[in-house]
Amino acid sequence: MADNKFAAYICSGCGIGDTLNVGAMEKIATKEGKMALVKSHAFLCNTEGVQMIRDDIANEGVTHVCIAACSRRAKTEAFNFPGIAMSRANLREGVIWVVAEGAAHDEVRQEMAEDYVRMGCAEVKKMIVPGGNVKESSSKRILVVGGGISGMTAALAAADAGYEVVIVEKAGQLGGFAKNLVKRVPFSGPYSEPQATGVEEMAAKISANPLVKVHLNSTVAETAGAPGRFKIKIAQLSDQVGGALAEELVGAIVQATGFTPYDVTKLTELGGGQANVVDQAGLEALAKSANGGAILRADGKEVKSVVFVQCAGQRGSGGNGSGQHLEYCSGHCCATSIKQAMYFKDANPEVDTVVMYSDLRVPGMGEDFYRSAQTKGVIFTKGKVNKVAGGGSCKVDFRDLILDEDTSVDADLVVLATGQVPNAGVNLDDWTAVVTLADGGDEAAKAKTVEMKRGSVLNLEYRQGPDMPQFKYGFADSHFICFPYETRRTGIYAAGPTRRPMDMLQAQEDATGAALKAIQAVENAEKGRAAHPRAWDLSFPKVRLEGCTQCKRCTVECPFGAIDEDEKRFPLFNEERCRRCGTCMGACPVRVISFENYSVDTVGSQVKAVNVPDQFEEKPRILLLACENDAYPALDMAGLQRLTYSAYVRAIPVRCLGSVNTIWITDALSAGYDGVMMMGCKKGDDYQCHFVKGSELASYRMSKIGDTLKQMGVEAERVITHEVAITDHERVAKLINDYAAQIQEIGLSPMKF
C-alpha cells in the first residue's frame, strides 16, 4: 500500500464555487481527508480539467482520486480513469441544488458540502481497484432447452449472431406445441386471415445451420457449474438408466420449455371428458385431419354448429367453470378461438360458429382479426357458461350477460379454450421442504427427492435445488416488472410460455430477448465481469474464511444461488453466478465478506467521516442509505428539479438495500446521528428490486433491529425504511423533510457526546 497516492479534485463549476467556499473544502480534504494532492478547478469535466487529473496520475503517481463535483451518475465518461480507484462527492445534485437558497442556509449548506468531501476522501482510501478475473477458458456456446417456437427462435437468433447453439428437445422432432397447429394467428397486415405456422421452415433452417446442434428425444440430466462453464449431461429418453450420457460444455442457458394445455378432463362442469367436447388442441387435431375440407367430429359427423367457450377453467371465478382451476388469463386463447372459428367459416360459411366470452382479449393487432371474424359471420356472445353437456348433440347452458337471462344453445361440437400450464420443473419451496425431511433421515422423503428430480427441467447441481425458482402460479422465474428475461439463476434465461402465458408472436420476441441476454452473459463471463444489472463490474466478493462462523446466512440469502458450500461447510462462491449486489455482505454477522471497491469499510468509513455536531448546536444529522438503482437517481432528479430538502441529511448510495450491514446503522447511531433512513425498491410479489430479494431481506433485517436499538437506548423511530421508485423525486424530498421534522419532534439523539 505504500505506493498509494490519494488526490482530491474539487470542481467550482455549475455554481458550486458561487455558493460554496471551495477554499474551505480544499483545507478539509488536505487536513481531515489526508489527501496528498488537493486541487480545485473551475470546470473539472472539460478537457483541461480532466487532463489535469490525467497528468497527475501519469506524473505524480496518483492512484486514488476523490472527485468533489456532480453526482456519481453524471459525467461518467469524462471522469473515467482506468486502473484508478475513484470516489465521487456529490456537491451539485446533492448539495447546491437541493439546499434552500439564501444566506440563512449558507452555514448548513457549507457543512453538508464539507461532510461530502470528508466522506469522499474516507471512501476512496478504503477502495481497491478490482482486478477482475479474466478466464483462461470460457465457453460461449448457448444451450437451448426446448425446441418449440421459443427455443427455435432463440437458437436461430443466437446462431445468426455467430454463437454456437445446442438444442435439447424432448420430442422426436422440432416444433413443440406449434407443430400440431393447422395455422397460426396472423403476425402481419392486414391481420384478417390465419397464417401458416412457419414451423417447418424454422426447423429446416436449424438443421441447415452448422452452428446449431440438436439433441432430439433428449432431456437435461444434469447442469453443473456457472455461466461460462456450465457442464451439461444430456440423457436420451430411450436410454436405459445408467446409459452413457452425452456431455456438452456451454456458457449460458435459455429455458424455453413451453407449456402444457390445462387438463380438459378436469373441467367436468364444462363437459370436459365428454364426447364432442374438445379443447383447442383437440380442435386443431380435427381441423388437421379435415385438411381444409369440412371438419368432422370424432364420430365422423360433419360439424354444422360449434360453440367456443372462452376462459374455460381460467381467470378464477371471472372465467367459465367452477373457478377452482387456473387463476390467470392465458392471453392467446381469444385470438386462437377466433382463428379456429375461421377454420369452420373458411371451409363452409354456413356453419354456425359462436364464441362465448366474458371479455374478449385480443392484444396487439388482434382487434383487426376479431373484426375479420365478425365479417365472416362468426357470432360473438357475451355470456357466462353454466353447464356444458356433451354427446351426440351438445348443449351449452349460459347466462347472456347483455340480455341478462339464462338461455342455451345447441351445437354439434363444443371447444373449451383452456389455459397454459407452464413446464417449469420442480417447485423449489416444495423441494426445500422435502430435502429438509430427507436430511433429517426420512426415507420416504429421500425417495421423493429422486422422484421430484425426474420432473426437473434443468437438474441443476445447485444447493438451492434442481430448477430455477418459480414465480407466481408456477411460472418460471422472471424479473417481471423491470427485466422480464432475468431469472434468479445467473446465465439461465427463461423465454416463452414457461415464463408467462403468451402467444407465438410474443414467444418469438421473448426468445430473441432471452438469446441476447444469453449472449451478454457468455461475453461478460469470459471477461470476468458481472452479469446484469452491474454488467461492467469487475469486483467480486472476497471472504476471509478464517473469520467465518459457518452461519450459512450468505448461502441462504443470496438471491441468485451463487454460493454453495464446500466439503467443510464453508461458503463456496461461484463468481460467475454472482450479480455483485452485496446481499451476502449485508447478511454476514461477522463482516468477513467485502468487495474490493465496496465494503463494510468503504461505507463504514463514510459514516464515521461525517462531522456530527454536539448536542448544543442543535443540528441533527440523518444518515440516508439510498439504493443506487432507484432511490439515488430519484434524489439526483430531485436536485435537477431544484426541489429542496433538509441539509441535515447525508446520503450514501448502496448497491442494494440488501447489502446494508446493520453495523453501519449501529455505528451511525453510536456516533450520534439522530436518524437513519433507508430507501430501497419495492418488495413483494410485484417487486422492483434489481436484485429481487435485496429490499425484502433488508426490510426483514430491519424488522429485527428493534432489540439492538433498545439495548442502545435509542428510540425505534430513529431507523426507518421506505420503498421508493425511480420516478419518486418529489416524494423522496418530502420523505426527507418529513423525517427531519419528525426528528426535531422526538429530539436529538441521546448518544451525542
Partner 1 sequence: MSDINSQAVARYKNNFLREVEERVEDGHWVKMCMQCGVCAGSCPFGPHWEHSPQKLFMMIRAGKREEVLKTDSMWMCTSCYNCIARCPRKLPITHIMHGLANYAYRLGLSPKGQPNQVIARIFWNNAIKHGRVNELTFSLAMYFKDGIGQGIKNSLAMQGVGLGLMKAKRLNPMEILGGHTCKDKSGIAKMLTKAREIEDRRRGLA
- Closer to partner 1 at the Cβ: 244 or 402? 402
Give the three cell numbers for residue 712.
Answer: 442502545
Q: Is it true that the peptide bond before 190 is cis, omega within 30 degrees of 0?
A: yes
Q: Check binding of 380 to partner 1 (CB under 8 A).
A: yes
3-state secondary structure of 650: strand
Q: Check binding of 398 to partner 1 (CB under 8 A).
A: no
On the CB side of 273, CA atoms within 13 Å amount to: 6
Handedness of CA 363, 364, 367, 373 (dihedral sign): negative
Query: Given candidates 203, 360, 437, 663, which one binds partner 1 under the rule CB under 8 A?
Result: 360
- Closer to partner 1 at the Cβ: 405 or 730? 405
The least distance separating partner 1 from the CB of residue 381, rounded to whole angstroms, comes to 7
Indicate the pairing of strand 571-573 with strand 563-565.
Answer: antiparallel
Query: Given candidates 1, 244, 402, 444, which one binds partner 1 under the rule CB under 8 A?
Result: 402
Indicate the pairing of strand 64-69 with strand 6-11.
Answer: parallel
The least distance separating partner 1 from the CB of residue 374, rounded to whole angstroms, comes to 5
- Closer to partner 1 at the Cβ: 237 or 403? 403
CA distance 127 to 207: 52
3-state secondary structure of 296: strand
Give the three cell numbers for residue 122.
Answer: 474516507
- Closer to partner 1 at the Cβ: 368 or 601? 368
Q: Check binding of 320 to partner 1 (CB under 8 A).
A: no
Query: Given candidates 377, 589, 706, 747, which one binds partner 1 under the rule CB under 8 A?
Result: 377
CA distance 242 to 236: 11
Q: Check binding of 207 to partner 1 (CB under 8 A).
A: no
The least distance separating partner 1 from the CB of residue 698, rounded to whole angstroms, comes to 46
Query: Given candidates 265, 289, 375, 549, which one binds partner 1 under the rule CB under 8 A?
Result: 375
Q: Using an 8 Å Cβ cutoff, are 283 and 416 in contact?
A: no
Q: Check binding of 382 to partner 1 (CB under 8 A).
A: yes
Q: Using an 8 Å Cβ cutoff, are 13 and 43 in contact?
A: yes
The least distance separating partner 1 from the CB of residue 363, rounded to whole angstroms, comes to 15
User: With CB under 8 A, what is the number of residues at the site for partner 1?
Assistant: 14
Binding mask 259-278 for partner 1 (x = CB under 8 A): --------------------
CA distance 600 to 587: 11
Query: Given candidates 207, 348, 374, 611, which one binds partner 1 under the rule CB under 8 A?
Result: 374
The least distance separating partner 1 from the CB of residue 403, rounded to whole angstroms, comes to 6
Burial 725-737 (b: 16+ CB within 10 A, else e): ebebbeebbebbe
3-state secondary structure of 696: helix
- Closer to partner 1 at the Cβ: 265 or 374? 374
Stretch that binds partner 1, among 69-77, 219-227, 371-379, 488-496 (CB under 8 A): 371-379
Q: Check binding of 371 to partner 1 (CB under 8 A).
A: yes
521: left (phi over 0), alpha (psi -120 to 50) or beta: alpha
3-state secondary structure of 314: coil
Q: Check binding of 407 to partner 1 (CB under 8 A).
A: yes
Q: Check binding of 399 to partner 1 (CB under 8 A).
A: no
Q: Where are the alpha helices (DSSP H) in 411-503?
A: 428-439, 443-454
**CA 102 remoteness from chain centre:** 44
The least distance separating partner 1 from the CB of residue 409, rounded to whole angstroms, comes to 9
Q: Check binding of 381 to partner 1 (CB under 8 A).
A: yes
Query: Given candidates 97, 191, 370, 471, which one binds partner 1 under the rule CB under 8 A?
Result: 370
Interface with partner 1 (CB under 8 A): 360, 370-371, 374-375, 377, 379-382, 400, 402-403, 407
